[in-house]
Structure 1
Amino acid sequence: MQLSVGTDSTWSLRAMIGVKIAELPVDLRVFALQCASCKSELRSLSPTGLVPFLKDGTLRLHDSLAIIEYLNELSGGKLYPTEQGKRAFSRSLCAEMHAGFSALRQTMPFTLAGVSPLTTFSPAQTADIARVTTLFAGAEGPFYHGEKPTAVDAFYAVLAYRLQHYGVRLPGTAGRYQQQLVAWTFLQEALAQLTSPITCCHAESSP
């Protein structure tokens, strides 16, 4: 099984964390998305030309939610709670992350470079942060559903990091969950894998 991911790709991070939760062996390919030749190669592999992209035999998956669901099935259900109601709720939260929080995505672009903390917020940003606070306050332990990580944690860990990076530290229970996600070994390992020095195979031909 091969997982193609890209530098500065938040959805790549989520798929990488999902693999770690599922405890499945994977051949990880990291593409330097700032390299035109790498992006061209990626377009030849992925039907959308985007990351993450999972290849398993003849199967090709190019959507992060689909990848998480497939990893869940391969691992015997490690990415979702066993209780039916919690499992359905988890899928709802993952779908919300997949499609929502557009104000935060647009105004707090993901980066590992230093940024100035935000001190003022638009109504759209404020609404998104309020929703995240409510959601995070529902965490039942170090992870959203208690002691074991699930897809919810994989999906929201990057958002927790993004908020903190821009100086947004949530209060109370929501803040404790945010800090636990930011410090989570799986997130830190995934960040390191995407930010370690990459020797681009196209470097010699790059301008």
Structure 2
Amino acid sequence: MQLVVGTLSTWSSRAWICSQLAGVKLDLIWIDLSKSGYKTEVLKYAPTGLVPALLDDGLVVHDSLAIVEYLNELSGGALYPVDSSQRAIARSLCMEMHAGFMNLRSQCPFSLGAVAPLVDINDSIQIEISRVEAIFSQAKLPFMFEQAGAVDAFYAILAYRLQSYGIVLEGKAGEYQQSLLEWPLLQQAIKLR
């Protein structure tokens, strides 16, 4: 099984972290997204021209959320809580990360290098930060639910992004942010780049 990933692709990192949590061994196919013509290279593997893409014996699963669901099935449910109510909340949180926080993403692009702190926090950014704080405050600690799972993989990258721009949450939300930042799987994902 192979995972097609891109340099500085946060969604690739999320899929990789979930593969580790699920105990699914993957060979990585790296594509340098900073090079011209990278799209042609990605299209060799994924019909969308986007990373990540999971290749499994002729099957192509594209989109990080679909990959996570597939990995969850392969692992017998390792990525989500056992309790159906908690599992529904976990999936909702993953989908919210997947489709939301567009202002934070556009105004605070992911970077492994030093970036200037975000000093002009407009209303649209503040609304999203407040929502992140509300989500992070729900964490059971050190992870969102009893054990590390898809929610943690999805939000760990956001925790890193926030810290990069000088946004450090307080209270229980801050504890969860710090827990994610110290998580060895996040640190490994960042080193993979």
Band the TM-score falls in, shorter-chain normalisation: over 0.9
Supply the AA of the counterpart residue of 1:73. Answer: E
Unpaired segments ≥5 residues, structure 1: 195-207
Aligned counterpart, 1:124 = 124
Corresponding residue number in structure 1 for 2:148: 149
The residue type paired with residue 8 of structure 2 is: D
- Structure 2 SS opposite 1:127: helix
The 8 Å contact of residues 139 and 145 in structure 1, kept in 2 or not, is answered as: yes
User: Distance in 2 between the 1:38 and 1:159 partners?
Assistant: 25
**How big is the alpha-carbon RMSD for the aligned residues of Structure 1 and Structure 2?**
0.9
Larger radius of gyration: 1
Structure 2: stretches of 5+ with no match in the other structure: none
After superposing the two structures, state which structure 1 stretch, 127-136 or 37-46, moved more.
37-46
TM-score (normalizing by structure 1): 0.91
2:6/2:31 contact within 8 Å kept: yes
Asked whether the equivalents of residues 4 and 45 of structure 2 are also in contact (C-alpha less than 8 Å), the reply is no
Query: Do 1:4 and 1:28's aligned partners in 2 also have CA atoms closer than 8 Å?
Result: yes
Deviation at 1:38, TM superposition (A): 4.0
- Stretches (4+) displaced over 4 A: none
Q: Distance in 1 between matches of 2:100 and 2:37?
A: 31
User: Is the 1:31–1:39 contact (alpha carbons within 8 Å) kept by the matching residues of 2?
Assistant: no
Counterpart amino acid of residue 81 in structure 1: P
In the alignment, which residue of structure 1 is the partner of 2:2? 2
| Contact kept? 2:21, 2:79, Cα under 8 Å | yes
Query: Deviations along 1:85-136, whole A, 9 cap, x unmatched?
Result: 0001100000100100011001000011111111220100000000000000
Query: What letter matches 2:164 in structure 1?
Result: H
The superposition leaves residues 31-71 of structure 1 with CA deviations (integer Å, 9 ceiling, x where unpaired) of 11112244322112110111001000121111111000000
2:94, 2:151 within 8 Å by CA — same for their partners in 1? yes
After superposition, residues 105-116 of structure 1 pair within 5 angstroms as 105-116=105-116
Task: Compute the TM-score of the two structures, normalised by the length of structure 2.
Answer: 0.98
The count of aligned residue pairs is 193
Aligned-pair CA distance for 1:73: 0.5
CA distance in 2, matches of 1:37, 1:126: 37
Counterpart code for 1:115:
V
Q: 1:72 aligns to what?
A: 72
Letter of the 1:78 partner, please give it.
A
Q: Within 5 A, what are the aligned runs for 1:1-207?
A: 1-146=1-146, 148-194=147-193
How far 1:157 sits from its partner (Å)? 0.4
